[in-house]
Structure 1
Amino acid sequence: MNADPVRGDGASRRPAAIASACALSLIAVPAWAHSGTGLAGGFVEGFAHPFGGGDHLLAMVGVGLWGTFLGRPLIYLLPVIFPLMMVAGAIAAMFAVPLPPVETGIAVSVLALGACIAFAWRAPAWAAMTIVAVFAVFHGCAHGRELPSAADPIGYSLGFVFATGLLHLLGIGLGEWGRRAGQARAVRIAGAAIAMFGAMYLFRALPV
């Protein structure tokens, strides 16, 4: 997807408007989508959980946006790889498999995905799939630690994965709009905004 020249006063204001809207919507949600304090369980709770914090939400939308930028087959593969590896990460957490600091890994995922979009990095397929798979493990691990305390862990997991898929589709939809409307610049600005939030999460995740 190549950046097209922006034409007209109305078009020139679109990227800034989109970036501002994204920033305002993200400020309105809590920073973390996972508290580690136990879950009520059930499909509805699992579905709502990813929308409760900016870190998971931004990573999911970022995967869709980057996949759209990279084109086929990654536009289809990345949104499939992420949920699958997220499940693997959740299982690893339930069996106490040692991993690097999870919150740091999640923050890095938001920062890195945003940077990939902002810098329009056309990664090789193997590199893009590896990056998304590794980040998905961290996201799955964060929520897998909570699953044993859920009243309905299977329903919760299904709701969570379904919501994750919808967030991927949201990112794909935004990316497709940018491509068809000649607003590649707006998509890259959105990626920069995601990266900035990732940097903020990383700063908060690092030990003082």
Structure 2
Amino acid sequence: MRPIRPLLAAGLVMASGTALAHPGHEAMSLASGFSHPFGGVDHLLAMLAVGLYAARQGGTARWALPATFVAAMLTAAGLAQAGMHFPLIEAGVAASVLVLGLLIAAAARLPLALTAPLVATFAVCHGAAHVAEKGDAGLLAYAAGFALASAALHGCGWLIGRRIPESASGARLQRVAGGALAIAGGMLLGA
């Protein structure tokens, strides 16, 4: 496989959110939900970071972390729709970018028993934020849309992470990517 193909695929997936953001799609809950993670840099970076971090882990963490994120995000969305209040949602969303960036930069390989709850906590913030911004969209189709988009972004991050070579230059690239994510997360926290 050529190294450019995963990057091209990631670009096409990210561009699809722009196409869905054109006027006239507001009534389409699925499209609205799908476009939401692409509409905010905080959600976009967090989803890519989950995939990138998972790709650099071993064993079941490679698929369990993104799956945990989506499951916890959907659970929180349902609870938020039912009226449960989640404090500090935006700070949690920004913190997810910061912390995942730091883990990526440090090439941390923590046990799944530690990272799964961490990822789930961040996912709760994302799920509650998605529902807070859903407007009149129906929850089931909207949630299916943002779950699909999140999974696609996780997949893009995972593909990028798997393409980083296990070498000194690959380790530097991973540190730079993680550092950039951490800086962006810090800026989002300060905003």
- For residue 149 of structure 2, what is the aligned residue in structure 1? 163
1:103 CA drift (Å) = 0.5
State the aligned residue count. Answer: 167
Residues 173-199 of structure 1: CA deviation (Å, up to 9, x unaligned): 011100367623212211110111100
- For residue 86 of structure 2, what is the aligned residue in structure 1? 99
Q: C-alpha distance in 1, partners of 2:118/2:156?
A: 20
Q: Which runs of structure 2 are paired with 1:138-149 in the superposition (5 Å)?
A: 138-147=125-134, 149=136
Match of 1:51, as an amino acid?
Answer: F
Return the match for 1:178 from 164, 171, 176: 164
- For residue 88 of structure 1, what is the aligned residue in structure 2? 75
- For residue 69 of structure 1, what is the aligned residue in structure 2? 56
- For residue 117 of structure 2, what is the aligned residue in structure 1? 130
- For residue 119 of structure 1, what is the aligned residue in structure 2? 106
Please tell me whether residue 47 in structure 1 is matched to residue 34 in structure 2. Answer: yes
TM-score between the two structures when normalised by the length of structure 1: 0.74
1:124 CA drift (Å) = 1.2
Determine helix, strand or coil for the equivalent of 2:83. Answer: coil
Match of 2:164, as an amino acid?
Answer: G
TM-score between the two structures when normalised by the length of structure 2: 0.81
1:96 CA drift (Å) = 2.5
1:148 CA drift (Å) = 6.3
Match of 1:172, as an amino acid?
Answer: W
**Which has the greater radius of gyration?**
1
Q: Is the CA contact (8 Å cut-off) linking 1:94 and 1:148 kept in structure 2?
A: no
Q: C-alpha distance in 1, partners of 2:71/2:124?
A: 9
Q: Is the CA contact (8 Å cut-off) linking 1:64 and 1:171 kept in structure 2?
A: yes
Q: 1:74 to 1:90 in 2, by over 3 A?
A: same
Percent of aligned pairs with the same residue? 40
1:100 CA drift (Å) = 2.4
Q: C-alpha distance in 2, partners of 1:119/1:137?
A: 24
Match of 1:174, as an amino acid?
Answer: I
1:42 CA drift (Å) = 2.1
Gaps of 5+ in 2: 1-6, 8-13, 15-25
Q: Is the CA contact (8 Å cut-off) linking 1:118 and 1:187 kept in structure 2?
A: yes
Match of 1:158, as an amino acid?
Answer: A
RMSD value, Cα: 2.0
Match of 2:131, as an amino acid?
Answer: G
Match of 1:124, as an amino acid?
Answer: P
Q: 1:51 to 1:148 in 2, by over 3 A?
A: closer
Gaps of 5+ in 1: 1-17, 19-24, 26-38
1:146 CA drift (Å) = 3.5
Q: C-alpha distance in 2, partners of 1:70/1:95?
A: 35
Match of 2:55, as an amino acid?
Answer: T
Residues 101-157 of structure 1: CA deviation (Å, up to 9, x unaligned): 11011111110000000111111111110110000000000112244621x332222
